[in-house]
Amino acid sequence: MKSRIISLTLATLTTFACHRASAQAKVDFAKDILPIFDQSCVKCHGPEKQKGKFRLDTKEAAFKKDKNDNTVIIAGDAAKSDLYRRITLPKGHEDIMPNEGDPLSKPQTDLVRDWINQGAVWPDGVVSKAASNTASSKPRNEPVLPKDFKPGDAEAKAIAKIGQAGVDVRPIAMSVPWREANFRLQGSNVTDAVIAPVKDVTSLVELNLANTKVTDAGLLAIKALPHLQRLHLELTGVTDAGLANLKGLSNLVYLNLYGTAVSDAGIEHLAGLRYLRNLYVWQSKVTEEGAAKLKKALPELSVSTGWDLKSLEKKEEKPAEKPAEKSEKKEDKKEDKKEDKKEDKKEDKK
Ligand code: HEC
């Protein structure tokens, strides 16, 4: 009698606990299975190590055939799948996976079983977080340069014209179509007219107009550059009105407005630039409140106001003339990485 009650209670409990499994609810790969692989398998079967020459971090890898034309997961048949056999072996067995530490729990192996029996559906593009940390897949929070980009017809001509002004519009790396242009060294020779041909250089990703004679009107030339990511306007005559021309630069990541007359009203034009991460407004009219307001619209933005620098200045008589270019770039990269991690964590929670 007693044992009957116990087994009844157990049965009820199990029905509660494994409701989805017993009801053969559809297993959700991303939610139910991938976290198991991530937690218990990928450290030995992922980007870093491929024990037994096997990877379990992407669909392609998990369903790869071995030399005998077998896959370890046989869709629709858990009983024939080596992967399921291994995770259900008794602890201490030679072939058990994971081959160290605790075996998977029964609810976990049941989920894997149901998943395989339901056809082992692994939606395209769903990858282990270990795999998505490597370069193979781009984090979604930075601009993506299209692979099939072709420069426009007018581009070569425009580059030649800019060359005549003494500025080399050069590729950012070997065998990529993307370019950068640095007008800074030509300084006061560079007027709105000089930069006008830039509008046809759609491959530009980085443009340095710092310390030139460029004005608000000149910014019309960059208004529609689709891939521009980094823009230096520090120490120019640019004002709030000019910043309205930057609204469409949807891939902008970095903007330097140090030493310009822009104010809080001007940077409001930037609120829609979702990839913007670094904004320099030191020695402009932007206030702490203005910066905070923009950060509300763009939470991942870091605004360098230089107010912290000012307190340093008091000690050091001579203020630094300009933010050091090289360290800026490194900072950017560090920032980006941090953001990636944040993104990942967010994704984990989902
Ligand atoms: C601590 C490292 C480690 C962990 C964690 C681990 N494995 Fe393995 N795995 C190995 C080693 C080593 C081999 C190769 C030796 C062997 O075949 O037993 C292997 C082989 C395999 C194979 C055979 C591959 C083939 O092509 O024959 C499968 C399937 C497998 N593991 C699945 C898993 C699964 C599923 C998990 C997570 C539940 C897991 N492993 C966790 C180390 C590990």
The pTM for the full model equals 0.48
DSSP H helices in 88-239: 106-117, 129-133, 155-164, 192-195
Ligand 1: distance of its center to the CA of 23 in Å?
A: 30
Cα 267 to ligand 1 centroid, rounded to whole Å: 54
Terminal CA-CA length for the chain: 46
Nearest alpha carbon, ligand 1 atom 19: 52
Question: Ligand 1: does its nearest atom lie under 6 Å from the Cβ of 85?
Answer: no
Beta carbon of 87 within 6 Å of any ligand 1 atom: yes
Using the atom order of ligand 1, give the atom closest to the CA of residue 52: 14
- Alpha-carbon distance of 275 to 35, in angstroms, equals 29
pLDDT tens, residue by residue, 91-104: 999 999 999 999 99
Residue environment code for 173-197, b if the CB has 16+ CB neighbours within 10 A, otherwise e: eeeebbbbbbbbeeeeebebebbbb
- 95 in contact with ligand 1, CB cutoff 6 A: yes
Q: How confident is the model at residue 23 (pLDDT cuts 50, 70, 90)?
A: low
Q: Considering only CA atoms, which residue is closest to atom 13 of ligand 1?
A: 52
> Of 55-64, 293-302, 337-346, where does mean pLDDT reach its minimum?
337-346
> Is the pLDDT assigned to residue 107 strictly greater than 90?
yes
> Would the CB of 83 count as within 6 Å of ligand 1?
yes
> For a pocket test of ligand 1, which of 38, 99, 104, 122 has the largest count of ligand atoms closer than 8 A to its C-beta?
99
Which tens digit of pLDDT belongs to each residue from 278-293? 999 999 999 999 999 9
For residue 98 and ligand 1, the question of a CB distance below 6 A is answered with yes
The rounded Å distance from CA 348 to ligand 1 centre is: 24
Residue 206 pLDDT: 97
Give the tokens for residue 317. 């008589």
Instruction: Give the residues across from 279 on adjacent strands.
Output: 255, 303
CB 331 within 8 A of CB 302: no
Task: Tell me, using a 6 A CB cutoff, whether residue 33 lines ligand 1.
Answer: no
Q: Whose CA is nearest to atom 36 of ligand 1?
A: 41
**For the segment 58-79, what is each residue's pLDDT rounded down to a tens digit?**
898 999 988 888 899 999 999 9
C-alpha 337 – ligand 1 centre gap (Å): 30
Q: What is the pLDDT of residues 129-140, one digit of tens each?
A: 776 655 444 445
Q: Quick: pLDDT tens for 239-288.
A: 999 999 999 999 999 999 999 999 999 999 999 999 999 999 999 999 99
Cα 127 to averaged position of ligand 1 atoms, centre (Å): 18
Give me 306's structure tokens.
Answer: 């230089």
Determine the distance separating the centroid of ligand 1 and the alpha carbon of 24, expressed in angstroms.
27
% the chain with pLDDT above 90: 64
Class of domain 155-330: alpha beta
Tell me the CA–centroid distance for residue 99 and ligand 1, in Å: 7
- 350 CA → ligand 1 middle, Å: 27
Give the pLDDT band (50/70/90) at residue 24.
low
Instruction: Find out whether the beta carbon of 82 lies less than 6 Å from any atom of ligand 1.
Output: yes
